[in-house]
Chains A and B, each alone.
Chain A
Amino acid sequence: MIWQALLLQAGYNAALVSLGAALLGAAAGAAGAFLTLRRRALMSDAMAHATLPGIGLAFLAMVALGGDGRFLPGLMLGAALTAAAGLWAVQRLARQMHEDAATGAVLASFYGAGIVILTLIQGLGTGRPAGLETVLLGSTAGMLRADALVIGFGGLAVICALWSLRRPLAMVAFDPLHARMMGVNPRRMDATLMALVLAVVLVGLNVTGLILIVALLVTPAVSARMWSTTVTGTATLSAVIGAVCGYIGAAISASVPDLPTGPVIVLLAAGGFGLTLLIRGRRDG
Chain B
Amino acid sequence: MALRVQGLTLRYNEVLALDGASAQFPIGSMTAIIGPNGAGKSTFLKSVLGLVAAAGTVAAFGGPVAQSMPRIAYVPQRAAVDWSFPVRVIDVVLMGCYRKTGLLGLIDAATSAHAMAALARVGMQDFARRQIGALSGGQQQRVFLARALAQGADLFLLDEPFAGVDAATEAAIIAVLKALRKDGATIIAVHHDLSSVAAYFDRVLLMNRRTVAEGPVATTFTRAALAQAYGPALMLDPTDLRSEGPTERPAA
Binding site for B on A (CB under 8 A): 37, 39, 164-165, 167-168, 170-171, 173-175, 177-184, 225, 228-231, 233-234
Q: Which 5 A-B residue pairings sit nearest by Cβ, starting from the closest?
A: A229-B131, A182-B98, A234-B86, A164-B104, A171-B95
Contact partner, A181, options B72, B81, B85, Cβ 8 Å: B72
Bound Cα distance A37, B85 (Å): 7
Q: Which residues in B have their C-beta under 8 angstroms from that of A164?
A: 103-104
CB distance B103 to A178 under 8 Å? no
Q: Is B170 an interface residue, CB under 8 A from the partner?
A: no
CB distance A183 to B69 under 8 Å? yes
Q: A164-B104, A175-B76, A178-B74 are in contact. Are A231 and B99 (CB under 8 A)?
A: no
CB distance B74 to A181 under 8 Å? yes
Q: Which residues in B have their C-beta under 8 angstroms from that of A37?
A: 85-86
Contact partner, B82, options A174, A180, A231, Cβ 8 Å: A174
- Beyond contacts A177-B80, A182-B96: 8 other A-B pairs, Cβ-Cβ < 8 A, are A164-B104, A170-B91, A173-B85, A177-B51, A177-B74, A181-B69, A182-B98, A229-B86
> Which of chain B's residues has its CB closest to A39's CB?
B82
> Which of chain A's residues has its CB closest to B91's CB?
A230
Bound Cα distance A175, B73 (Å): 13
CB distance A230 to B86 under 8 Å? yes
Contact partner, A228, options B49, B73, B86, B147, Cβ 8 Å: B86
Q: A229-B88, A234-B86 are in contact. Are A178 and B95 (CB under 8 A)?
A: yes
Q: A177-B46, A177-B74, A231-B86 are in contact. Are A184 and B98 (CB under 8 A)?
A: yes
B179 CB to closest chain A CB (Å) equals: 22
Q: Is B87 an interface residue, CB under 8 A from the partner?
A: yes
Q: Which residues in B have their C-beta under 8 angstroms from that of A234?
A: 86
> Which of chain A's residues has its CB closest to B74's CB?
A181
CB distance B87 to A170 under 8 Å? yes
Q: Is B57 an interface residue, CB under 8 A from the partner?
A: no
A156 CB to closest chain B CB (Å) equals: 17
CB distance B88 to A175 under 8 Å? no
B134 CB to closest chain A CB (Å) equals: 9
Q: Which residues in A have their C-beta under 8 angstroms from that of B103?
A: 164-165, 167-168
Bound Cα distance A228, B51 (Å): 31
Bound Cα distance A233, B88 (Å): 11
Q: Which residues in B have their C-beta under 8 angstroms from that of A174?
A: 81-82, 85, 87, 92, 95
A187 CB to closest chain B CB (Å) equals: 12
Q: Which residues in B have their C-beta under 8 angstroms from that of A170?
A: 87, 91, 95
> Which of chain B's residues has its CB closest to A163's CB?
B104
B206 CB to closest chain A CB (Å) equals: 25
Q: A37-B85, A175-B76, A229-B87 are in contact. Are A182 and B151 (CB under 8 A)?
A: yes
Q: A167-B98, A167-B101, A168-B103 are in contact. Are A178 and B147 (CB under 8 A)?
A: yes
Q: Which residues in A have their C-beta under 8 angstroms from that of B73?
A: 181
Q: Which residues in B have their C-beta under 8 angstroms from that of A178?
A: 74, 76, 95, 147
Bound Cα distance A58, B46 (Å): 45
